[in-house]
Structure 1
Amino acid sequence: MTQPPDSPYRPEELVRQGGVGAPDPFLRMWTPHRMAYIEGENKPTSTQAGSGCPFCRLPGLGDAEALIVHRAEAAYAVLNLYPYNPGHLMLVPYRHVADYTELTPAEVADIATLTQQAMAAVRAVSGAHGFNIGMNQGEIAGAGIAGHLHQHVVPRWSGDANFMPVIGQTKVLPQLLADTRELLAKNWSPEEERE
């Protein structure tokens, strides 16, 4: 395999680690900060409200600190701290409730309206070509925080890095969360303004 002269990859410089493994052509992108997520740091150990639930705690913080993009009456929009793609939002009812069937009509309406507003804001800021929208109900379905319902809005682009997490075990995020939050908050339009 021929490498460009300025390539940081030098197979001859790879060193075996105690005889384990063999040199290969892959670059390594070390992301030790993700160990907090993998090991469940700050993940509530109980499904009860106030038992360390981050979705109950976030509304008590300032928007920039909490990464909250917009607050409605019954729910709020917040950036995912561990995003799948840049601009990955979660829509969360203020009330600590685990199941979609337990939401009040006002909470359902706010989450639906926030979904529309989130899509419009992300398109305005980044030109997203599409979205994955959904929620995982219960731990068995993949909910990271099963005790407090939240809906994901994940922007997608043609040719985005969708292969990276699957094949490369790497997530590519070109923008800091604080910068993404500021852009989305500035471009968030309430439903009345869009009509």
Structure 2
Amino acid sequence: MAYISSNHTGPNAGSSPDGSCPFCEAPKRTDEEALIVHRGEHAYVLLNLFPYNSGHLLVCPYRHVPLYDEATPEETTEIAELTQTAMRVLREDSRCDGFNIGMNQGVIAGAGVAAHLHQHVVPRWAADANFFPIIGSTKALPVLLGDTWRSLHDAWPA
């Protein structure tokens, strides 16, 4: 409901109310406040505020760049490495059965924050679909973001 009521449509979709980029602002906050699970040299990992599933992570470069082909070799290497680590952490911590991993490039492709590159790492379980999405257009997420952050942050390798 938070996502729906925030009216995430139009040319500024995904930006903060003041027009700033949420992925540029997140690293300026504490890890717990911004739900940052891990900080790397060129990229970082945080929980999605509007998750498709419990444990839905985003891997973002610090640099404000919109498209994958505009990322530096160092950024793409670290995004790939952090994605692999995220998969291992989620598999160990959440016992997930699979993943959806991907990037929506540009508003037309479905990017919620099109101006800042980010990769989705969505854990999936064999029985993670139920009647809620079909009957009530609602997805049940039984774990609070703060609890998920603590669990994944603590499980991330040093």
- TM-score normalised by structure 1 residue count: 0.73
Q: Which residue of 1 aligns with 2:124?
A: 156
Match of 2:85 among 112, 117, 122: 117
Amino acid in the other structure paired with 2:61: P
Aligned alpha-carbon RMSD (Å): 2.0
Match of 2:41 among 52, 67, 73: 73
Query: d(CA) in 2 for partners of 1:163 and 1:134?
Result: 25
Provide, for residues 8-47 of structure 1, a one-character-per-residue CA deviation record: whole Å limited to 9, x for no partner: xxxxxxxxxxxxxxxxxxxxxxx4x34334x1298328xx
**Corresponding position: 1:146 with 2:114:** yes
Q: Displacement, 1:125?
A: 1.0
Query: d(CA) in 1 for partners of 2:39 and 2:80?
Result: 13
Match of 1:103 among 63, 71, 78: 71
Q: Which residue of 1 aligns with 2:51?
A: 83
User: Partner of 1:57: helix, strand, or coil?
Assistant: helix
Q: Displacement, 1:164?
A: 3.6
The answer to whether the 8 A contact 1:89-1:152 is kept is yes
Query: d(CA) in 2 for partners of 1:170 and 1:86?
Result: 14
User: Partner of 2:99: helix, strand, or coil?
Assistant: strand
Query: d(CA) in 2 for partners of 1:121 and 1:129?
Result: 13
Identical aligned pairs, as a percentage? 56
**Corresponding position: 1:188 with 2:156:** yes
Unmatched segments (≥5 aa) in structure 2 = none
Paired positions, count: 154
**Corresponding position: 1:35 with 2:35:** no
Match of 2:138 among 170, 174, 183: 170
Query: d(CA) in 2 for partners of 1:103 and 1:167?
Result: 41
Larger radius of gyration: 1
Query: d(CA) in 2 for partners of 1:75 and 1:165?
Result: 33
Provide, for residues 75-127 of structure 1, a one-character-per-residue CA deviation record: whole Å limited to 9, x for no partner: 00000000000000000000000010001011001100110110111111110
Amino acid in the other structure paired with 2:4: M
Provide, for residues 30-65 of structure 1, a one-character-per-residue CA deviation record: whole Å limited to 9, x for no partner: x4x34334x1298328xxxx9410000000000000
Query: d(CA) in 2 for partners of 1:36 and 1:94?
Result: 28
User: Partner of 1:186: helix, strand, or coil?
Assistant: helix
Shift of the 102–176 alpha-carbon distance from structure 1 to 2, 3 Å rule, reads same
User: Partner of 1:153: helix, strand, or coil?
Assistant: strand
Query: d(CA) in 2 for partners of 1:44 and 1:135?
Result: 17
- TM-score normalised by structure 2 residue count: 0.90
